[in-house]
Amino acid sequence: MKSMKNGPKSVDAYIARAPKSAQGKLREVRAAIREVAPDAAESIGYGMPGYDRGNVAWFGLMKTHIGLYLRPPIIAEHRKELAGYTTTKSAIHLPLDKKIPVRLIKRLVKARMKKNTEDGYR
């Protein structure tokens, strides 16, 4: 990524600052999130794109992967589906040298949206 000193003000700007080789993958992640969370407000937070309707998801470009961030317990609840990925309590590493798992991203975001609804977010 180019310097974030004067960070991007929009997701479009964030993606435009990424290396050309990663821009398509970032757009795929964005589109998957937007498809299942169309009412989530899109913004830049923590220096990366975020989607707020009860803190749905964030994503960020790293050197070798795109980090997809979802509040717990989503990753723990989908451990079997995520067996082939490096994960933490709230992050999934999507390798840049692999195809973006769009259907998986959609399932995870849907699960987060459902939890948010259960928790009272509308």
Give pLDDT, residue 7: 83
Give pLDDT, residue 53: 76
Give pLDDT, residue 118: 80
77 within domain boundaries? yes
Asked if 8 and 23 count as a contact pair (C-beta separation under 8 A), the reply is no
Given a cut of 50, whether residue 2 has pLDDT beyond it is no
How many other C-beta atoms are found inside a 10 Å radius of the C-beta of residue 93? 16
For position 33, which CATH number holds?
3.90.1150.200
Across the range 69-84, mean pLDDT stands at 95
Rounded Cα distance between 73 and 108, Å, is 11
Per the structure, the count of domains in the chain is 1
Q: What tokens appear for 33 in the block? A: 């999130």
Asked if 71 and 90 count as a contact pair (C-beta separation under 8 A), the reply is yes
Percent of the chain's residues with pLDDT above 70:
93
76 within domain boundaries? yes
Given a cut of 50, whether residue 3 has pLDDT beyond it is no
5 within domain boundaries? no
Q: What is the mean pLDDT of the chain?
A: 92
Across the range 24-45, mean pLDDT stands at 95
Instruction: Show the domain range for 25.
Output: 11-113
Given a cut of 50, whether residue 1 has pLDDT beyond it is no
